[in-house]
Each structure stands twice: as structure tokens, then as C-alpha cells.
Amino acid sequence: MINILLFVVLGGSLPVLYRLFLRPSRPDSWVFNPSAYGLPPRELLDSTRPGPPPPAQRTEERQAVAQAAWDGHWQSAARYIRAAGDDWDERWSRFEVLQYVAQEDDAWLDAWRAAEPGDCDAATLRASMMVHRAWKIRGSGYAHEVSASAMESFTSLLPAAIEEARRAALLDPANPGPWVVMITAARGAKYKRAQFRRLWDELVARAPYHYEAHWQALQYWCAKWFGNNRLMMRFARQAVRKAPPGSPLAGMYVIALAELGRRLPLVPPGTPLVRSRRLKRIAASFDQVAADDERLPPLRHLLAYFMVRSMSYGPAVEQFRLIGPWCDAQVWRGNGLAVPGFEAARRKAVKRSRIHPAPPAPQTHGMAR
């Protein structure tokens, strides 16, 4: 009786097992011609950048501000950040430029603080510099990879930075910048969830869609800090739902998926976490973001990667078209090099999407049009 049952069970499975494991695989004769599908050819791929360089005018302005600051003219830095007005994302982008300038030489920042002790931006920049110095001492490794002395210095510097940011917040109650600094420092300062939520409430009361603040909060809610996978993904889904037109805020979701993938690399495609419908919603949100937004290209790489993982091959091809030749993204560097991984993903997306190649241009053979 047992033998009969085994025959019935295994007999129905044998053809499937044969096709999966025993039948010789057929050579893949399909030739991938990227240009036929609106994609740059492999020889034009650029693995040095995730996207195109910023507009020349923007780069020149940044260089001029940096040089003026290093020459001792802090007023140019003050004008540069104030020109963003109440566009808090743009203001923070300029703030990060000044942060880089100050890392090279911060004498101009000391002069600004001395000349305008009541300026919130200058005070926030000083507080942020303190946080970044603390993180530089700690490094980016997991806690068990950080030396005891480095961890001690790290944890001792952060409370002073948070206090500096709190004083900056008093100088301009409407400015979210000091609260972004506090949120950045909170996980290193081991804030409990209730403490962190109070900071977050203060931030969203001033700038509910602040991109950098959301990125920092996502780090707090991930499992390696003070959250877990469920809380992180819930936070990311909320970002997708509330992302306003023109903001790349919905990208928090693909950032969260990437974080989850580092912890759970075997999450299968097609699960609720990698649901194609949500990815398409994110793609539609990205379509409303300015093409020269420097935050967008890394997010498109993540979106294309997870679209391929979720078997949304047609939409993935469209993302690859929008990405163009730029392929410097960590998700493609499975073997250390970006181009092979990027090319393999493009090939898979095109082949499985069943998209037809564009017809060749008609030959005129010298006939007048």
C-alpha cells in the first residue's frame, strides 16, 4: 500500500522534477540589443555616477560659495542658505553644502557665529557639525565592530550636540533644521521610542515632508537601532501615502526594502513587502519630481531593482530608460562591479517583459522626402 502511495505521489512529480533538475538546459539564443528597446548600449554605461552631474550653474554657485567662505566671507554662506526661503528641503540641501565646506575649514563658521549669535542657521550648522564629528569617530560599523574608546567618545559628544541644537531651535521656532539635527543624533544618543516620537512631532509640525528628516527617522525605526522590521516598513508605507507632488519622499519605501534585504536577503519576490502595485505608485510619484533632483537617481536604481525582483518587468524597463547610462548603485555590485549586474537586470527585464523592439528606421536609399 505504501509503495502504491509513493508511486502516485512521486509519479505525478517526476516530470516536474525532471524538467527542473535533469533535463539539459537549452542554450539561450536570444541576443539583447539595448538600443532596440530605448536603452543605452553597454559600451556607453557609466559606473562612476548614479545619475547625471548636477547642472553647471548649480555647481558653479556651490563652488563660489565655498571659495568665498574659505576666503573668510561668511556672508556669502548666509545669503546662500537664506535664498532658499521656506523651501525646507532645498534649504537643507544648501545646508549640507555648507556642512561640507565647514568640514574642510570652519573658521568662517566661527566668524559667522561671532558676528550673528542669534542666527538659527549658523547655530544649527554648528550643532550638526558636532553630530557629524561624533559619527566620524564611531564609524559606520555595527556596534560590536566599534572599539570601546570610540563608542565612549561618540556617546559623550551627542548630548552636547543635541543641547546645542535645542538652543538653535529657540532662535527661530519655525525652522525645522535644529529638529533634523536632533533626530539625526537621537539613535546614537539611545533615545527611547517615546522620546524620539516627541522629537518627531516637533519636526512634522514645522516640515511634515522633510526628506532628510524622514531618512534619519527611518534609520531609527530599523531593526539595527531601536525599531524592528514591522515598524520600519510601516513608517515607509506612511511616507508613500503622504508624499506630496514633486517630492521624492515615496522613495523611503525602496530604501526600507534595501535595509530589509540586508537583514533578510532571502525575502522572496512577489511577497506583500515587494508588491508591484506599491512600486508602480512610487514610480508615478517619481514622475512628478524635477529631473535634476540629485536625490532621484539612487532611488530609481532601487526602484528598478525591486521591480525586477517583483517580476514587474515592463515597468522596470521604463525605469531603466529613465536611468539611462548611469549605473553606480550598490544594488548592482553583487560581484563588486556595477556594469555586469546592471546589464543582467536590464536584460532580464526586457526579455521577460515581452516588449517588442522598435522597428528599424526605414531605408530611403537616396529618395527625396
Kindly give, in sequence order, each residue whose CB lies less than 8 Å from that of residue 164, ignoring residues fewer than 6 positions away: 123, 126, 127, 130
Kindly give, in sequence order, each residue whose CB lies less than 8 Å from that of residue 342, ignoring residues fewer than 6 positions away: 45, 47, 327, 329, 332
Query: Do residue 223 and residue 142 come from a single domain?
Result: yes
The C-alpha cell at 214 is 524622514
- Within-domain flag for 281: yes
Cα angle, residue 338 at apex, residues 56 and 276 outer, rounded to 5°: 95
Q: 149 is in which domain, residue-wise?
A: 57-227
Query: Do residue 68 and residue 211 come from a single domain?
Result: yes
Query: Do residue 253 and residue 288 come from a single domain?
Result: yes
Query: Do residue 211 and residue 251 come from a single domain?
Result: no
234 neighbors 244 (Cβ within 8 angstroms): no
Query: Do residue 280 and residue 308 come from a single domain?
Result: yes
- Within-domain flag for 309: yes
Query: Do residue 234 and residue 274 come from a single domain?
Result: yes
- Within-domain flag for 15: no
Among the three residues 195, 227, 259, which one is the final residue of a domain in this structure?
227
pLDDT at 147: 77
- Within-domain flag for 2: no
Predicted TM-score (pTM) of the model is 0.86
pLDDT at 267: 57
Query: Do residue 185 and residue 69 come from a single domain?
Result: yes
Query: Do residue 88 and residue 103 come from a single domain?
Result: yes
Cα angle, residue 306 at apex, residues 354 and 240 outer, rounded to 5°: 120
Query: Do residue 188 and residue 269 come from a single domain?
Result: no
Binned average pLDDT, 10 residues per bin, the chain of 369 residues: 42 43 55 95 97 97 97 97 97 96 95 97 97 82 72 84 97 98 95 97 98 98 95 97 97 96 64 76 97 97 96 96 97 91 97 85 44
pLDDT at 141: 66
